[in-house]
Structures are given as C-alpha cells and as structure tokens.
Amino acid sequence: MAERIRCFFDRSGRTYGSPRITLDLWEEGWQVSQNTVAEIMAELGLQGRKPPRRRRSLTRPGKRKTAPDLVRRKFDAIAPNVLWWGDMTEIDTGEGKLYLASVHDAFSRRALGYAMGARHDAALVSAALQMAIATRGGQVDGVIFHTDRGSEYTSEAFQQLCGRWGVVQSMGRVGSALDNAAAESFHSVFKVEYIHRRTFATRAEARLKTATWIADFYNTKRRHSAAGGKPPVEFERIIQETRARTDQEGRTA
C-alpha cells in the first residue's frame, strides 16, 4: 500500500493529500480509511500542497455599464452549460509576466477555454471564451458567464462577443473575492500545485507547460470534490452516459 500511495502522490505532481489519494486507492480496490492513508503519508514524509500565497488582483474596474450578479456566490450547476465562470491570473517568467484567462463550467469544474498573452486585455478574455464556445460545439445560448467587473469583461468587444453567442454576463462586486470564489479556487490550485513549484525562462515555455497541465492533468486526471471526486472530463462522461441510459430505459418502459 505504501508503494501505491507514493505512486499516486508522485503522479499528482506531489500535490495530493490523503483525501484524494484515498479515492485513488479505493478505485483500485483497497479497503483503507483516510486516516490510515494520512498516517502512512506522514511516515513516508509525503506532504500535499501548502497554503497559497496571497495574489495581487488584476481587476481594473471598467467605465462601461456592468452586468448584474446573477450567481450570488452559488457556484454549482445541475447540468453543463448552465453556469460558467472565468478570471485572469499572472505567471512570472524570465521575460516578464504572462497572463492566463480561463473559462470553467460550474457543473464539472472543467476548464473549457483558456488563452495566454503578454497583456491582459479584451482580446485575451475573448480568446478564452471563444475556445470555451468551440469546446461545447457552439451550443451555448443562454449560458451564464460570471466574472469580476474588470475592464476586459466590460469592454464593448467582449460584450458584443457574448451577445453574438447568446452568453449572458454576470458580474460580482469590485474588490470582493468571494463574489468570484470559484475562480479564486482555481487560481489557488494552479499556483500552489503547479506554478510555484517551477520557474519559466520564457513566456513560450510557460505557455506550453500551462496548456499541457490544464489539458493533460487538471481536466483529465485531477480529482475534484465538487465533481464527486472525479476528474472533470470523466465526471461529465459518467453523467452523460447515466442520463442517456436513464432516458433509454424510460422510452422502453
């Protein structure tokens, strides 16, 4: 068991604590409690991610009209494409800052779209939203997209993009991290579990490795408590198959 615990810990990028490693063990058929896993990890000297550092906010209030808060700090959804949320964060590199804009589905916590660049502007957040729309096959009419009130999200170009696809904007208050707590949670995971453990010589290196982490680990391997302890893509697949099977059984009954 100790060997498997060490294997799962290493596979997570040395970030998993006992709760997620216990889920990995259960999936393999081990009958073990979380407390026992925690004790073994302590004996092996394995420690999950440390508390995050306080990050500097990138929000710069825009002068254009803002959208109302349609979410009210309720960041869960009963199905895909009901509620999305997004934000921006920065990555330090040897060439200067690289900014990451991302869009996530509240149902599974999946990162649907992301874009990176040397400037945090309307073009960056628009590119992230366009990737999210493409990921969902363009079927996004009526989805609520919640963000802060940064000038990038209140810009005319971004508002027009949302209107063109039927995306309904929602915005939290300026200076209130809790109004966009889901995005803050993603940034914490991203920074603590990945970025703060590495250095990047160039923006290109940071861009490539960040995209790989999101696509090959965060979306497909990292367990999320809000997704039933499953990775986002797997959680969506399980729910989709279950609903399809239920519908089929209902039609044949």
Structure pTM?
Answer: 0.76
Domain count, the chain: 2
- Look at residue 63 and tell me if it is in a domain: no
Tell me the pLDDT band of 54, cut-offs 50, 70 and 90.
low
User: Contact, 169 vs 153, CB < 8 A?
Assistant: yes
206/115 same-domain check:
yes
What percentage of the chain reaches a pLDDT higher than 70? 91
Residue 75 has pLDDT above 60, yes or no: yes
pLDDT in tens, 199-245: 999 999 999 999 999 999 999 999 988 888 999 999 999 999 998 88
* For residue 169, pLDDT beyond 90: yes
User: Does 78 map to a domain?
Assistant: no
Asked whether residue 35 falls in the same domain as residue 160, the answer is no
pLDDT, tens digit, 9 for 90 and up, residues 103-126: 999 999 999 999 999 999 999 999
Q: How many CB atoms lie within 10 A of CB 110?
A: 25
Q: What are phi and psi of 91, to 5 degrees?
A: -125, 130
Range of the domain at 8: 1-50
Tokens read off for 175? 């200076």
Q: Are residues 211 and 144 in the same domain?
A: yes
Q: Are residues 27 and 104 in the same domain?
A: no
Co-location of 139 and 195 in the same domain: yes
